[in-house]
A and B are shown apart, each in its own frame.
Chain A
Amino acid sequence: MRKNLNLILNIFFAVLIFNSFTAAQSDYEIVQNFKQKYRQIEESIKKANTIEELNSLVASIDRLRSEYMQYKDLLDKSLYPDNFDKSFERLNSEFVVRNRDLTQVDILQTENLQLKEQVELLNKQNSALLSQIQSIEYATKKDSKKVAELEKLVAELKSSLKKRDDLIMSIVDSLMPQLMKKEAYFSSREKNDIYLKAEKNNVLDNVKRALQDNISFLKVTSLQPEDLSEVKKQQEQFAEFWQDAGVKLVDIYSAKRKKANEIALIDSLFTDWQKAVDTEAWNSIREEFAANGIMLIDFSNGDEFTNVLTSFIEEEIKNIGIKSPEASEETYRNFADSTWFKTIKPLWIPFLVEHQMIESEQVLQIEKKIAEWNMKLTPATNEWLYIVIAAVVIIISVLFVRVMKKKKSSPGDA
């Protein structure tokens, strides 16, 4: 019974197999199948993300060609307005175009990798420079050799930071050219693509690191107005870059619900950086006064600066007559001649006014106060002069009277 059942089953399968070989096939179906497979390959070419993926399709193209070669006549007639060969020519040219695009992407990615390595190297170098500067700052500032070394290191660090910041912007430029398009709209797929690229290249980390280093740089160095103007320019560039790319990145990251904190941190670091430049300027000004023995209390904006300076002058005016004249004059000379007129007014005031850190009226107010101080010091000086002149005049008059008296009392002698 079992043998019979096996025999029946074998015959059934044999008939099935035979039928499948002998069953006639619809030409329409052959053409439709060909078109479907052709479209699948076309789609795969378009979707290929790497050259390896693309190259793997060569075998599929060859297989399709050889599989349907037997139907070439049918396909020649049916693939109107193309034919069998033309269809494969078109597929090949699509392959070549995609290959060229991917090669370009590959080159960009390689370049990007090199940029990334350079950024990492510069990050390390900057950290080392920052700590070196810090240690020299703490050691001594009076040693001229050390000061020269410090200046050299600061210059080196400044250029290194600039180089690194430019590289970060290049990375964003090269990987996300879409980000630089104004008013660009991204589909969710594009957003995802940019997100992945940004993550792969540590864009947020690098931007954050750049801002932190720039803040540290300002903290450990004492810069001149021209250096700070350069930093301000850098900040404007960054603001422009962050307005374009940053806002879009925020949008992309918030859609991903990831790293929203990091984006917020970058925003706050940028604000800190801007504040750090202002703080650096006010500190440098205070140091200028201190270098000439004028110790002022802290100020961090135009109003405070004006108040501190005018209060100091008022105090000094009050002290005229209490302090020795020499001491009062020396303070005036140190304040006005050696600091205000020598460095603050020609170097710092234009910077402060240009960056709206102080009003022209406030500068005028300080200058008036300095003039008043000068006036108060000057009469005191003249008083002594008048006394001396009066004494001289009195002495001359007394001598003159005596001489005249002598002449009158001796006519008989003559």
Chain B
Amino acid sequence: MKLLIPGLFIAVLLVNACSTLTLKPADFAWPIESVLKIDDNGTVTEERYSLSFNTTGLFYEEAGDSLAYKNKELRIIRDSGGYYFVTAAAFKNVYVFTAEEGALKLFSKILISETGLVNPAFNQRAPYIELLNDGKSLYLTNTGIKKD
């Protein structure tokens, strides 16, 4: 018993020392999507949020052609949880990314239309992201389409 109390005390201290500091709640939501022009190297730059990344991998994944980005615009929005939703006109999917060290890592790929999106647009509808496809609306989570 004499040893148990100090042992428990030390264990509590150790657990506290090892746990990561977390600030809650946090909201990463962008009020509106950004529509970004892709430069000749396949890179997009979002000035307001100081975000920049290369899109060649995304186009290879979507169209099987890493040069398909030419003359295209990318639409991107971040939800309140911090996930990036990315798509473009004629894409079949919406890609959901998380921020990694120096990279965006694919979190999920949501199939929307086999024929490709027409006039796609994102709206911030926390906790969801609204996707407009040819004027029709879908609500997305970071894993898929929200079902009613």
Contacts and interface: CB of A to CB of B under 8 A. Distances in A.
A24 B132 contact: yes
A74 B32 contact: yes
Interface in B120-139: 121-124, 130, 132, 135-137
Contacts of B75: 28
Interface string A3-46: 00000000000000001000111111101000000000000000
A27 B124 contact: yes
A77 interface: yes
B145 interface: no
Contacts of A26: 33, 121-123, 132
Contact of A28 (B32, B48, B137): B32
Contacts of A19: 135
A25 B33 CA distance: 13
A25 B119 CA distance: 11
B140 to A, nearest CB: 13
19 contacts: A23-B136, A24-B123, A24-B130, A24-B132, A24-B135, A24-B136, A24-B137, A27-B31, A27-B32, A28-B32, A28-B33, A28-B34, A28-B35, A28-B75, A28-B122, A74-B32, A77-B31, A78-B31, A78-B32
Nearest to B136: A24
Given A74-B31, A77-B31, A77-B32, A27 B135 contact: no
Contacts of A23: 135-136
A24 B92 CA distance: 20
Interface residues of A, number: 13
Interface of B: 31-35, 48, 75, 121-124, 130, 132, 135-137
A80 interface: yes
Interface of A: 19, 23-29, 31, 74, 77-78, 80
A29 B35 CA distance: 10
Contacts of B124: 27
Contacts of B136: 23-24
A23 B34 CA distance: 21
Contacts of B121: 26-29
A94 to B, nearest CB: 24
A74 B130 CA distance: 14
Sort A-B residue pairs by CB-CB distance and give the 4 closest, nearest first.
Answer: A77-B31, A26-B121, A23-B135, A24-B137
A74 to B, nearest CB: 6
A69 to B, nearest CB: 17
A31 B48 CA distance: 15
Contacts of A28: 32-35, 75, 121-123
Contacts of A27: 31-33, 121, 123-124
Contacts of B33: 26-28
Given A23-B135, A26-B123, A28-B32, 17 more contacts: A23-B136, A24-B137, A25-B132, A26-B33, A26-B121, A26-B122, A27-B31, A27-B33, A27-B121, A28-B33, A28-B121, A28-B122, A29-B121, A74-B32, A77-B31, A77-B32, A78-B32
A28 B132 CA distance: 11
A80 B132 contact: no
Contacts of B137: 24
A31 B130 contact: no
Nearest to A29: B121
A2 B129 CA distance: 47
B27 to A, nearest CB: 11
Given A24-B130, A26-B121, A26-B123, A31 B32 contact: yes
For A23, A27, A31, the residue with the greatest tally of chain B CB atoms inside 10 Å of its CB is A27
A80 B46 CA distance: 13
A42 B92 CA distance: 40
Contacts of B31: 27, 74, 77-78
A34 to B, nearest CB: 11
B75 to A, nearest CB: 8
A77 B27 CA distance: 14
B104 to A, nearest CB: 21
Contacts of B130: 24
A24 B139 CA distance: 12
Contacts of B123: 24, 26-28
Nearest to B123: A27
Contacts of B135: 19, 23-24
Which of A28, A31, A74 has the most chain B CB atoms closer than 10 A to its own CB?
Answer: A28
B76 to A, nearest CB: 11
B48 A80 contact: yes
A292 to B, nearest CB: 93
A31 B34 CA distance: 11
A26 B120 CA distance: 9
B123 to A, nearest CB: 5
A281 to B, nearest CB: 76
B125 to A, nearest CB: 9
Nearest to B133: A24
Most B CB within 10 A of own CB, among A24, A74, A77: A24
A26 B73 CA distance: 16
A375 B35 CA distance: 108
